[in-house]
């Protein structure tokens, strides 16, 4: 069984070089590729042609759910299920239900945001072909990488390598899947 | 071009306005490289456990045992072992609760509000400040939970069906507090953890490279398989921004609701609309005091002067100065309103605060909270690290006394002079509170030993060489 490589990886020394290379790869029309960086590089989204993150939509759903949960929970408990008169105050009012609903809005938004981020990123994922590359540990230290997947329709071992070379990539190697 | 002809007899107007260039504050001293930052922060958790750590840990554990002992005695005997008796049925426990919660607030302020305001100086202190928040909430939670008396019924606070089939009373600010504090604790832990994922991945990779596979696995599990993908960073940064966005109203609401515990009651001295903003300012004030108390020794021990620079200390001192002055304004305004309202009970409550039986506590409060921060007007004071640390300790003391003054004086002087009393804490209460400093220190020492104490990825992102347009000249164009 011949080992099918996952793709090609190239290393870069600075954020400037990485940005420039990312623009070239984007303009060459690749879709299945990625930059691997030790910190979020400012402006890389644009150089890679990434769309705006969809996390906020999930957060919004979480927040609305939280607020409705708070209001309906308090209405159900104190007005519907077991009303008790305390100091002649109304059994339900959105005013006194507000602080708890507000906190639940924030709590649910936080869970939705983090859950959404993990879901969109496909994490946790403890095995990934990129992690097979022995120098990849420098991606969490001081080095920048571009990976182009073999699964990309435009991928061609020779041409893709040439593109990465032209972009200034160093140590271009194949990584196993 | 008409400019050329106008130039001869041009009025005294500049052709072009060149605003004075203010030098950008250096976030990482000595232009350190990415690798230096990684080595420095990870090295703290990787090195052999230093002797001072064991000494501090032993001392902290000893102090923490006072809380454990106090709580065991309380649970086995009854809540009467605390010094509460009519008219003061609520004193040190709520004082300590508000004190610890308030300390936590600076952590969230640094991580959330300063993130939204794009204050880059937050990066080197946010991780430890967030850890401080979580540990402070743990300490705060001890007091109300054990004041219940029968602590095994603490779950009655939450909307869980119980055998009495009675639900919680959502008209009470104490129930709001349950939700506020538990949400605050949860969101703080989530925020802290999410911020740490890339740094845990860094530690995973370093342990793997060093051949320590068990540690690499352990850190790897919590790093979630993070690999630094830019597609991930895009979602991650958005999620982090949203978390900062929701933590900001959260932190303001938590201390507002804590202040509602008092403000919604009808007692003179508590029933005031100034309480929410006044409590929030006080919380931030005390929290920054605690951040300085913790960060300055860490900076000295681990030689982190290039990461926590004089600029960072300056910023923190100025926040303390600003919030301390706000707190001072609130003290004065309370007195003014007490007089202006012509309410004799209100006036009495405030005159009694300053000149009544608790005058000494009031005096400590004002001198620590209003006078102490004024020293931070002076650059020479802000540059004297030892002095800053001592002043920060005074801030901590002062804010504890503020809560004591507010709570103690209003309760001890009831509406009926026949029920007036004087509250003194019992030994059990003193031990329990003293011990929480140990609990806090134990947790903080464990954090320092095992986790990245600074946000490595965020620190790298604020260095000049991280700017893709700088071409390594050492200065960005922002």
- Per-residue pLDDT tens listing for chain A (177 residues): 346 778 888 888 888 888 888 888 888 888 888 888 888 888 888 888 888 888 899 999 999 999 999 999 999 988 888 888 888 888 888 888 999 999 999 999 999 999 999 999 888 888 888 777 878 888 888 888 888 888 888 788 888 888 888 878 788 888 877
B151 CB-near residues (< 8 Å, 6+ apart): B75, B145
- Per-residue pLDDT tens listing for chain B (478 residues): 445 455 556 667 777 877 777 777 777 777 778 888 888 888 888 888 889 899 999 999 999 999 999 999 999 998 888 888 888 888 888 889 989 988 888 788 888 888 888 777 888 888 888 899 999 999 998 998 898 888 898 888 888 888 888 888 888 888 999 999 999 999 999 989 998 999 999 988 888 888 888 888 888 889 888 888 888 888 998 999 899 899 889 988 988 898 888 888 888 888 888 888 888 888 888 888 988 998 898 888 888 888 888 888 888 899 999 999 999 999 999 889 888 988 888 888 888 888 988 899 999 999 999 999 999 999 999 989 899 999 999 999 999 998 888 888 888 888 888 888 888 888 999 999 999 999 999 999 999 889 988 888 888 888 877 777 764 443 333 3
DSSP structural state of residue B372: G
Q: Which residues of B271-309 are buried (b: 16+ CB within 10 A; e: fewer)?
A: bbeebbebbbbbbbbbbbbbbbbbbbebbeebebebbbb
Q: Tell me the C-alpha distance between A159 and A49, whole Å.
A: 21
Question: Which residue in the set A15, A73, A139 is minimally distant from B227, CB to CB?
Answer: A139
B92 CB-near residues (< 8 Å, 6+ apart): B82, B83, B143, B404, B425, B429, B433
Using a CB-CB cut-off of 8 Å, the residues of chain B touching A61 are none
Q: What is the CATH number of the domain that holds B197?
A: 1.20.1630.10
Do the beta carbons of residue A146 and residue A10 sit within 8 Å? Answer: yes
Using a CB-CB cut-off of 8 Å, the residues of chain A touching B227 are 36, 128, 130-131, 136, 139
Task: Report ipTM for this prediction.
Answer: 0.89
Q: What is the 3-state secondary structure (H, E, C) of chain A?
A: CCCCEEEEEEEECCHHHHHHHHHHHHHCCCCCEEEECCCCCCCHHHHHCCCCCCHHHHHHHHHHHHHHHHHHHHHHHHHHHCCCCCCCCCCCCHHHHHHHHHHHHHHHHHHHHHHHHHHHHCCCCCCCHHHHCHHHHHHHCCCEEEEEECCCCCCCHHHHHHHHHHCCCEEEEEEEC
Q: Is residue B19 part of a domain?
A: no
Q: Is residue B132 part of a domain?
A: yes
A167 CB-near residues (< 8 Å, 6+ apart): A10, A20, A21, A24, A25, A146
B238–chain A Cβ distance below 8 A for any pair: yes
Q: Is residue B8 part of a domain?
A: no
Query: What three-state secondary structure class fits B88?
Result: strand
CB contact under 8 A, A140 and B198: yes
pTM of the entire structure? 0.86
Q: Tell me the C-alpha distance between B233 and A29, whole Å.
A: 21
B384 CB-near residues (< 8 Å, 6+ apart): none
Q: Tell me the C-alpha distance between B403 and B433, whole Å.
A: 14
Chain B from 412 to 441: CB within 8 A of any A CB: none
Q: Dihedral, CA atoms, A98, A104, A107, A113, nearest 10 degrees? A: -90
Q: Is residue B409 part of a domain?
A: yes
Do the beta carbons of residue B100 and residue B140 sit within 8 Å? Answer: yes
Size of interface A-B (CB pairs under 8 A): 217
CB contact under 8 A, A50 and B460: no
B87 CB-near residues (< 8 Å, 6+ apart): B411, B412, B414, B419, B420, B421
Q: Tell me the C-alpha distance between B423 and B253, whole Å.
A: 30
Q: Is residue B212 part of a domain?
A: yes
Q: Is residue B290 part of a domain?
A: yes
Using a CB-CB cut-off of 8 Å, the residues of chain A touching B118 are none
CB contact under 8 A, B176 and A103: yes
Do the beta carbons of residue B143 and residue B197 sit within 8 Å? Answer: no
Q: Is residue B422 part of a domain?
A: yes
**C-alpha B178 chain-centroid distance:** 19
CB contact under 8 A, B227 and A113: no
A53 CB-near residues (< 8 Å, 6+ apart): A120, B234, B235, B237, B238, B239
User: What residue spans define the domains of chain A?
Assistant: 5-50+124-176, 55-121
Q: For B258, which residue in chain A has the nearest alpha carbon? A: A99
Phi-psi region for residue B228, left (φ > 0), alpha (ψ -120 to 50) or beta?
left
Query: What three-state secondary structure class fits B49?
Result: coil
Backbone angles phi, psi at B119, to 5 degrees: -85, 105
Mutate to test the interface with B, among A40, A95, A145, A149 (most CBs of B within 10 A): A40
How far lies A80's CA from each of A69, A83, A90, B54, in Å? 15, 6, 12, 57
B192–chain A Cβ distance below 8 A for any pair: no
Q: Tell me the C-alpha distance between B117 and B125, whole Å.
A: 15
Q: Is residue B436 part of a domain?
A: yes
Question: Which residue in the set A48, A111, A140 is minimally distant from B201, CB to CB?
Answer: A140
Indicate the length of chain B as a whole number: 478
User: What is the extent of the structural domain holding B227?
Assistant: 29-150+169-464
Q: Tell me the C-alpha distance between B247 and B238, whole Å.
A: 14
Phi-psi region for residue B22, left (φ > 0), alpha (ψ -120 to 50) or beta?
beta
First-residue to last-residue Cα distance in chain B = 33
- Count: domains in chain B: 1
Residue A119 sits at the vertex; the CA angle it makes with A118 and A120, to the nearest 5 degrees, is 95
Residue corresponding to tokens 């921004």: B241
Q: With the C-alpha atoms ordered B121, B122, B127, B130, is the resulting torsion angle positive or negative?
A: positive
Do the beta carbons of residue B215 and residue A33 sit within 8 Å? Answer: no
DSSP structural state of residue B464: G
């Amino acid at each position: 069984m011949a080992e099918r490589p996952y793709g090609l990886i190239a290393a870069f020394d600075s954020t400037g070089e990485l940005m420039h290379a990312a623009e070239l790869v984007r303009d060459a029309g690749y879709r299945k590729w990625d930059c691997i960086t030790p910190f979020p590089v400012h402006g890389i989204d644009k150089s890679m042609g990434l769309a705006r993150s969809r996390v906020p939509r999930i957060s919004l759903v979480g927040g609305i759910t939280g607020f409705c949960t708070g209001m309906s929970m308090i209405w159900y408990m104190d007005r519907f299920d077991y009303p008790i008169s305390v100091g002649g105050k109304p059994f339900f009012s959105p005013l006194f239900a507000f602080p708890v609903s507000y906190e639940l809005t924030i709590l649910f938004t936080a869970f939705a945001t983090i859950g959404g981020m993990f879901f969109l990123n496909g994490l946790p994922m403890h095995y990934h072909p990129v992690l097979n590359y022995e120098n990849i540990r420098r991606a969490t230290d001081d080095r920048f990488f571009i990976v182009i997947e073999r699964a990309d329709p435009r991928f061609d071992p020779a041409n893709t390598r040439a593109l990465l070379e032209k972009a200034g990539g160093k140590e271009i190697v194949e990584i196993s899947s | 071009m008409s400019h050329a002809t106008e130039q001869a007899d041009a009025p005294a107007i500049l052709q072009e306005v060149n605003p004075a260039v203010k030098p950008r504050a250096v976030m990482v001293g000595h232009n350190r490289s990415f690798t230096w930052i990684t080595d420095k922060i990870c090295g703290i958790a990787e090195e052999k456990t230093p002797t001072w750590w064991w000494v501090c840990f032993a001392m902290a554990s000893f102090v923490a045992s006072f809380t454990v002992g106090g709580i065991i005695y309380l649970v086995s005997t009854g809540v009467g072992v605390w010094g509460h008796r009519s008219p003061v049925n609520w004193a040190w426990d709520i004082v300590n609760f508000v004190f610890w919660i308030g300390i936590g607030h600076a952590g969230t302020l640094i991580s959330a509000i300063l993130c939204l305001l794009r204050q880059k100086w937050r990066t080197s202190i946010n991780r430890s400040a967030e850890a401080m928040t979580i540990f402070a909430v743990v300490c705060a939670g001890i007091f109300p939970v054990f004041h219940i008396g029968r602590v095994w019924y603490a779950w009655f606070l939450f909307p869980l069906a119980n055998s009495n089939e009675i639900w919680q009373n959502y008209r009470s600010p104490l129930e709001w507090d349950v939700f506020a504090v538990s949400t605050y604790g949860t969101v703080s832990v989530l925020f802290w953890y999410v911020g740490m994922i890339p740094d845990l991945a860094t530690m995973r990779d370093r342990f793997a490279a060093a051949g320590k596979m068990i540690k690499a696995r352990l850190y790897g599990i919590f790093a979630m398989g993070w690999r630094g993908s830019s597609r991930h960073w895009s979602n991650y940064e958005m999620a982090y921004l949203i978390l900062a966005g929701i933590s900001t109203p959260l932190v303001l609401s938590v201390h507002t609701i804590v202040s509602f515990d008092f403000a919604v009651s009808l007692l003179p001295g508590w029933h005031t609309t100034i309480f929410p903003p006044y409590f929030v300012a006080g919380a931030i004030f005390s929290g920054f005091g605690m951040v300085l108390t913790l960060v300055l020794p860490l900076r000295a021990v681990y030689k982190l002067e290039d990461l926590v620079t004089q600029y960072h200390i300056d910023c923190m001192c100025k926040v303390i100065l600003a919030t301390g002055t706000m707190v001072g304004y609130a003290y004065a305004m309370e007195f003014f309103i007490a007089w202006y309202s012509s309410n004799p009970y209100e006036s009495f409550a405030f005159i009694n605060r300053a000149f009544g039986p608790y005058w000494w506590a009031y005096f400590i409060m004002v001198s620590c909270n209003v006078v102490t921060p004024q020293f931070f007007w002076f650059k020479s004071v802000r540059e004297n690290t030892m002095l800053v640390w001592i002043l920060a300790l005074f801030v901590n003391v002062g804010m504890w006394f503020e809560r004591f003054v507010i709570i103690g004086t209003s309760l001890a002087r009831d509406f009926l002079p026949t029920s007036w009393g004087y509250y003194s804490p019992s030994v059990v209460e003193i031990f329990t509170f003293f011990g929480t400093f140990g609990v806090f220190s134990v947790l903080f020492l464990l954090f320092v030993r095992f986790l990245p104490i600074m946000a490595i990825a965020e620190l790298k992102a604020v260095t000049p060489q991280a700017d893709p347009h700088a071409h390594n000249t050492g200065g960005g164009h922002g």
